[in-house]
Amino acid sequence: MIENTPRAEPAAPMIQVRNLHKSFTLHTQGGIELNVLCSTDLTVSAGECVALMGPSGAGKSTVLRCLYGNYLPQAGAILIRHKGHMINLVGAEPRNVLAIRRETLGYVSQFLRVIPRIPAIDLICEPLVTLGADPEAAREKAAALLTRLRIPERHWSLAPATFSGGEQQRINIARTMVVDYPVLLLDEPTASLDAENRHTVIDLILEARERGAAIVGIFHDEEVRDAVCSAQHQVAAPAAADGPSMRADEVNSGDRQDLAG
Ligand SMILES: Nc1ncnc2c1ncn2[C@@H]1O[C@H](COP(=O)(O)OP(=O)(O)OP(=O)(O)O)[C@@H](O)[C@H]1O
Protein backbone atom coordinates (compact mmCIF):
# COMPACT_ATOMS: atom_id res chain seq x y z
CA MET A 1 0.00 0.00 0.00
CA ILE A 2 1.28 3.45 -0.88
CA GLU A 3 0.98 6.00 1.87
CA ASN A 4 0.28 9.57 0.81
CA THR A 5 0.87 11.17 4.17
CA PRO A 6 4.51 12.18 4.48
CA ARG A 7 5.97 10.75 7.66
CA ALA A 8 8.16 12.98 9.79
CA GLU A 9 11.74 11.73 9.94
CA PRO A 10 12.61 10.67 13.47
CA ALA A 11 15.13 13.09 14.98
CA ALA A 12 18.71 11.84 14.85
CA PRO A 13 20.21 10.63 18.13
CA MET A 14 22.96 13.04 19.13
CA ILE A 15 23.96 11.39 22.41
CA GLN A 16 23.89 7.68 23.19
CA VAL A 17 25.12 6.56 26.58
CA ARG A 18 25.35 2.82 26.99
CA ASN A 19 25.93 0.84 30.18
CA LEU A 20 28.01 3.52 31.86
CA HIS A 21 29.85 2.70 35.07
CA LYS A 22 31.69 5.33 37.05
CA SER A 23 33.26 4.98 40.46
CA PHE A 24 35.76 7.04 42.41
CA THR A 25 38.50 5.76 44.66
CA LEU A 26 39.29 8.06 47.54
CA HIS A 27 43.02 7.44 47.73
CA THR A 28 43.47 9.87 50.61
CA GLN A 29 40.75 8.14 52.64
CA GLY A 30 41.95 4.57 52.83
CA GLY A 31 41.14 3.76 49.19
CA ILE A 32 37.37 3.79 49.83
CA GLU A 33 35.52 3.19 46.59
CA LEU A 34 32.36 5.12 45.69
CA ASN A 35 30.22 3.54 43.01
CA VAL A 36 28.31 6.44 41.49
CA LEU A 37 26.97 5.38 38.09
CA CYS A 38 25.99 1.80 37.37
CA SER A 39 24.58 0.68 34.00
CA THR A 40 23.47 4.20 33.03
CA ASP A 41 21.80 4.40 29.61
CA LEU A 42 20.62 7.62 27.97
CA THR A 43 19.65 8.66 24.45
CA VAL A 44 19.06 12.28 23.46
CA SER A 45 17.99 13.26 19.96
CA ALA A 46 18.16 16.55 18.10
CA GLY A 47 15.68 19.05 19.52
CA GLU A 48 15.25 17.21 22.83
CA CYS A 49 16.10 18.52 26.28
CA VAL A 50 16.50 15.91 29.01
CA ALA A 51 16.56 16.87 32.69
CA LEU A 52 18.78 14.74 34.92
CA MET A 53 16.81 14.04 38.08
CA GLY A 54 17.69 12.53 41.43
CA PRO A 55 18.59 13.47 44.97
CA SER A 56 21.75 15.31 45.92
CA GLY A 57 24.74 13.01 45.42
CA ALA A 58 22.92 10.72 42.98
CA GLY A 59 25.48 11.45 40.25
CA LYS A 60 23.85 14.07 38.02
CA SER A 61 26.95 16.26 37.70
CA THR A 62 29.02 13.12 37.25
CA VAL A 63 26.90 12.20 34.20
CA LEU A 64 27.45 15.68 32.72
CA ARG A 65 31.20 15.53 33.38
CA CYS A 66 31.40 12.10 31.72
CA LEU A 67 29.48 13.52 28.73
CA TYR A 68 32.00 16.36 28.47
CA GLY A 69 34.90 13.93 28.65
CA ASN A 70 36.12 15.24 32.01
CA TYR A 71 35.52 11.97 33.86
CA LEU A 72 36.57 8.72 32.29
CA PRO A 73 34.10 5.93 33.15
CA GLN A 74 35.33 2.43 34.03
CA ALA A 75 32.97 0.84 31.50
CA GLY A 76 30.40 1.73 28.88
CA ALA A 77 30.18 3.99 25.86
CA ILE A 78 29.35 7.67 25.33
CA LEU A 79 28.59 8.23 21.67
CA ILE A 80 28.34 11.84 20.51
CA ARG A 81 27.36 12.80 16.97
CA HIS A 82 30.29 14.90 15.77
CA LYS A 83 30.37 16.08 12.15
CA GLY A 84 27.79 13.44 11.22
CA HIS A 85 29.50 10.46 12.89
CA MET A 86 28.85 8.89 16.28
CA ILE A 87 32.19 9.08 18.11
CA ASN A 88 32.83 7.28 21.39
CA LEU A 89 34.24 9.76 23.90
CA VAL A 90 35.33 6.92 26.18
CA GLY A 91 38.88 6.16 25.22
CA ALA A 92 39.07 8.92 22.58
CA GLU A 93 42.43 10.62 22.10
CA PRO A 94 42.65 13.88 24.09
CA ARG A 95 43.03 15.90 20.86
CA ASN A 96 39.80 14.33 19.54
CA VAL A 97 38.02 15.14 22.80
CA LEU A 98 39.15 18.76 22.42
CA ALA A 99 37.96 18.89 18.80
CA ILE A 100 34.56 17.48 19.81
CA ARG A 101 34.30 20.07 22.58
CA ARG A 102 35.32 22.89 20.27
CA GLU A 103 32.75 22.14 17.58
CA THR A 104 30.03 19.99 19.07
CA LEU A 105 29.77 20.18 22.86
CA GLY A 106 28.75 23.35 24.67
CA TYR A 107 29.04 23.09 28.44
CA VAL A 108 27.65 25.61 30.89
CA SER A 109 29.22 24.72 34.22
CA GLN A 110 27.95 26.28 37.43
CA PHE A 111 30.92 28.57 37.70
CA LEU A 112 32.77 30.74 35.21
CA ARG A 113 36.40 29.85 34.71
CA VAL A 114 37.66 33.42 34.86
CA ILE A 115 40.63 34.30 32.70
CA PRO A 116 42.48 37.27 34.25
CA ARG A 117 42.48 40.54 32.33
CA ILE A 118 40.33 39.30 29.43
CA PRO A 119 37.30 41.60 28.90
CA ALA A 120 33.89 39.94 29.19
CA ILE A 121 33.02 40.57 25.55
CA ASP A 122 36.27 38.99 24.31
CA LEU A 123 35.72 35.97 26.55
CA ILE A 124 32.33 35.48 24.89
CA CYS A 125 33.62 35.99 21.32
CA GLU A 126 36.55 33.62 21.75
CA PRO A 127 34.86 30.22 21.09
CA LEU A 128 33.24 31.60 17.93
CA VAL A 129 36.44 33.22 16.64
CA THR A 130 38.32 29.96 17.33
CA LEU A 131 35.86 28.27 14.96
CA GLY A 132 36.80 30.75 12.22
CA ALA A 133 34.03 33.35 12.57
CA ASP A 134 34.68 36.90 11.45
CA PRO A 135 35.76 38.79 14.63
CA GLU A 136 33.37 41.70 13.94
CA ALA A 137 30.41 39.36 13.42
CA ALA A 138 31.38 37.45 16.58
CA ARG A 139 31.50 40.73 18.51
CA GLU A 140 28.03 41.68 17.29
CA LYS A 141 26.63 38.32 18.34
CA ALA A 142 28.33 38.60 21.74
CA ALA A 143 26.97 42.15 22.20
CA ALA A 144 23.45 40.97 21.35
CA LEU A 145 23.69 38.21 23.96
CA LEU A 146 25.12 40.57 26.58
CA THR A 147 22.21 42.94 25.92
CA ARG A 148 19.62 40.17 26.15
CA LEU A 149 21.20 38.97 29.38
CA ARG A 150 21.12 42.51 30.83
CA ILE A 151 24.85 42.97 31.36
CA PRO A 152 25.32 46.78 31.40
CA GLU A 153 27.43 47.98 28.46
CA ARG A 154 29.96 49.62 30.80
CA HIS A 155 30.85 46.09 32.04
CA TRP A 156 31.55 44.61 28.61
CA SER A 157 35.17 45.76 28.51
CA LEU A 158 35.90 44.66 32.09
CA ALA A 159 37.37 41.32 33.12
CA PRO A 160 34.59 39.38 34.87
CA ALA A 161 36.73 38.33 37.88
CA THR A 162 35.00 40.97 40.03
CA PHE A 163 31.48 40.43 38.63
CA SER A 164 28.71 39.18 40.90
CA GLY A 165 27.79 35.47 40.91
CA GLY A 166 24.75 36.10 38.71
CA GLU A 167 26.73 38.28 36.28
CA GLN A 168 29.43 35.62 36.00
CA GLN A 169 26.80 32.98 35.34
CA ARG A 170 25.32 35.08 32.53
CA ILE A 171 28.79 35.56 30.98
CA ASN A 172 29.23 31.79 31.19
CA ILE A 173 25.89 31.21 29.45
CA ALA A 174 26.66 33.78 26.74
CA ARG A 175 30.10 32.21 26.11
CA THR A 176 28.37 28.90 25.36
CA MET A 177 25.25 30.18 23.59
CA VAL A 178 27.32 32.33 21.21
CA VAL A 179 28.14 29.14 19.27
CA ASP A 180 25.29 27.05 17.83
CA TYR A 181 26.62 23.86 19.40
CA PRO A 182 24.77 20.69 18.30
CA VAL A 183 24.92 19.38 21.89
CA LEU A 184 24.50 21.42 25.07
CA LEU A 185 25.29 20.30 28.62
CA LEU A 186 23.80 22.65 31.21
CA ASP A 187 24.69 22.38 34.90
CA GLU A 188 22.16 24.52 36.78
CA PRO A 189 22.31 27.39 34.27
CA THR A 190 19.85 29.57 36.21
CA ALA A 191 20.99 28.86 39.78
CA SER A 192 22.10 32.43 40.56
CA LEU A 193 19.72 34.36 38.32
CA ASP A 194 16.80 36.67 39.03
CA ALA A 195 13.38 36.04 37.47
CA GLU A 196 13.90 38.24 34.39
CA ASN A 197 17.23 36.67 33.48
CA ARG A 198 15.85 33.20 34.22
CA HIS A 199 13.21 33.83 31.58
CA THR A 200 15.83 35.01 29.11
CA VAL A 201 17.81 31.79 29.68
CA ILE A 202 14.60 29.77 29.19
CA ASP A 203 14.15 31.54 25.84
CA LEU A 204 17.78 30.84 24.83
CA ILE A 205 17.38 27.15 25.66
CA LEU A 206 14.10 26.91 23.74
CA GLU A 207 15.73 28.63 20.74
CA ALA A 208 18.57 26.09 20.90
CA ARG A 209 16.04 23.24 20.89
CA GLU A 210 14.24 24.89 17.98
CA ARG A 211 17.43 24.87 15.86
CA GLY A 212 17.92 21.18 16.72
CA ALA A 213 20.35 21.13 19.63
CA ALA A 214 20.26 18.05 21.87
CA ILE A 215 20.39 19.20 25.49
CA VAL A 216 21.08 17.47 28.80
CA GLY A 217 20.85 19.50 31.95
CA ILE A 218 20.43 19.73 35.68
CA PHE A 219 17.59 22.09 36.52
CA HIS A 220 16.67 22.28 40.18
CA ASP A 221 14.24 25.10 39.39
CA GLU A 222 10.95 23.39 38.57
CA GLU A 223 9.62 26.32 36.53
CA VAL A 224 12.71 26.29 34.31
CA ARG A 225 12.62 22.50 34.00
CA ASP A 226 8.95 22.45 33.02
CA ALA A 227 9.52 25.21 30.47
CA VAL A 228 12.53 23.76 28.65
CA CYS A 229 12.56 19.97 29.06
CA SER A 230 11.01 17.35 26.83
CA ALA A 231 11.88 14.42 29.12
CA GLN A 232 13.40 13.51 32.46
CA HIS A 233 16.03 10.92 33.27
CA GLN A 234 16.33 9.55 36.78
CA VAL A 235 19.90 9.18 38.02
CA ALA A 236 20.01 6.75 40.94
CA ALA A 237 23.04 6.04 43.07
CA PRO A 238 23.58 2.25 43.14
CA ALA A 239 23.40 0.37 46.42
CA ALA A 240 26.88 -0.10 47.91
CA ALA A 241 27.14 -3.73 46.85
CA ASP A 242 25.75 -3.26 43.33
CA GLY A 243 28.55 -1.42 41.65
CA PRO A 244 31.34 -2.89 39.59
CA SER A 245 34.25 -4.10 41.59
CA MET A 246 37.46 -2.45 40.45
CA ARG A 247 40.99 -2.61 41.75
CA ALA A 248 42.06 0.74 43.16
CA ASP A 249 44.80 1.10 40.58
CA GLU A 250 42.30 0.59 37.75
CA VAL A 251 40.09 3.52 38.56
CA ASN A 252 40.35 7.22 37.86
CA SER A 253 43.57 6.78 35.96
CA GLY A 254 42.20 8.67 32.99
CA ASP A 255 39.98 11.45 34.37
CA ARG A 256 40.61 14.53 32.31
CA GLN A 257 39.69 17.43 34.53
CA ASP A 258 42.95 18.96 33.45
CA LEU A 259 42.01 19.16 29.75
CA ALA A 260 41.47 22.73 28.73
CA GLY A 261 38.22 23.34 26.98
N1 LIG B 1 36.02 13.89 41.64
C2 LIG B 1 35.39 13.16 42.56
N3 LIG B 1 36.08 12.42 43.44
C4 LIG B 1 35.43 11.67 44.37
N5 LIG B 1 34.10 11.60 44.50
C6 LIG B 1 33.37 12.32 43.64
C7 LIG B 1 33.96 13.12 42.63
N8 LIG B 1 32.97 13.72 41.91
C9 LIG B 1 31.81 13.29 42.46
N10 LIG B 1 32.05 12.45 43.49
C11 LIG B 1 31.05 11.78 44.32
O12 LIG B 1 30.07 11.24 43.48
C13 LIG B 1 28.77 11.36 44.05
C14 LIG B 1 27.86 12.05 43.07
O15 LIG B 1 28.26 13.41 42.95
P16 LIG B 1 27.56 14.40 41.92
O17 LIG B 1 28.17 15.73 42.10
O18 LIG B 1 27.57 13.80 40.58
O19 LIG B 1 26.05 14.38 42.50
P20 LIG B 1 24.82 15.27 42.09
O21 LIG B 1 23.66 14.34 41.86
O22 LIG B 1 25.18 16.19 40.97
O23 LIG B 1 24.59 16.08 43.43
P24 LIG B 1 24.07 17.59 43.71
O25 LIG B 1 22.61 17.62 43.29
O26 LIG B 1 24.22 17.73 45.21
O27 LIG B 1 24.95 18.54 42.96
C28 LIG B 1 28.95 12.10 45.36
O29 LIG B 1 28.93 11.17 46.41
C30 LIG B 1 30.32 12.76 45.24
O31 LIG B 1 30.93 12.89 46.46
Nearest CA to ligand 1 atom 17: 61
Query: Which of 28, 62, 233 has the most ligand 1 atoms within 8 A of CB, as the residue to mutate?
Result: 62
Q: Check residues 115 and 8 and name the one with the higher pLDDT.
A: 115
Q: Is residue 95 part of a domain?
A: no
Residue 12 is assigned to a structural domain of this protein: no
Contact yes or no for 77/19 (Cβ under 8 A):
yes
Q: What pLDDT sits at residue 45? A: 97
Question: What is the band of 221 on the pLDDT scale with cuts at 50, 70, 90?
Answer: very high
Look at residue 261 in the predicted model and tell me its pLDDT: 41
Q: Rounded to the nearest whole angstrom, what is the distance from the C-alpha of residue 66 to the centroid of ligand 1?
A: 12
Q: Is residue 178 part of a domain?
A: yes
Angle, helix 135-148 to helix 165-177, in steps of 10 degrees: 140
pTM attached to this predicted model: 0.89
Considering the domain boundaries, does residue 63 fall inside one? yes
What CATH number is associated with residue 165?
Answer: 3.40.50.300
Residues lining ligand 1, Cβ inside 6 A: 24, 34, 36, 54, 56-62
Query: How far, in Å, is the centroid of ligand 1 from the Cα of 25?
Result: 12
Ligand 1 atom nearest to CA at 54: 21
Q: How many domains does the chain have?
A: 1
80 is a domain residue: no
- Given a cut of 80, whether residue 250 has pLDDT beyond it is no
Is the residue at 6 inside a domain? no
By most ligand atoms within 8 Å of CB, the mutation choice from 34, 110, 185 for ligand 1 is 34
User: Is residue 182 within 8 Å of 16, Cβ to Cβ?
Assistant: no
Tens of pLDDT, residue by residue over 175-205, are: 999 999 999 999 999 998 999 999 999 999 9
The answer to whether position 192 is within a domain reads yes
Range of the domain at 138: 47-70+103-234
Provide the pLDDT confidence category of residue 30 given band limits of 50, 70 and 90. Answer: confident
What average pLDDT does range 216-225 have in this prediction? 96
Any domain includes 179: yes
Mean pLDDT of the chain: 88
Counting from 1 in the atom list of ligand 1, the atom nearest the Cα of 71 is: 1
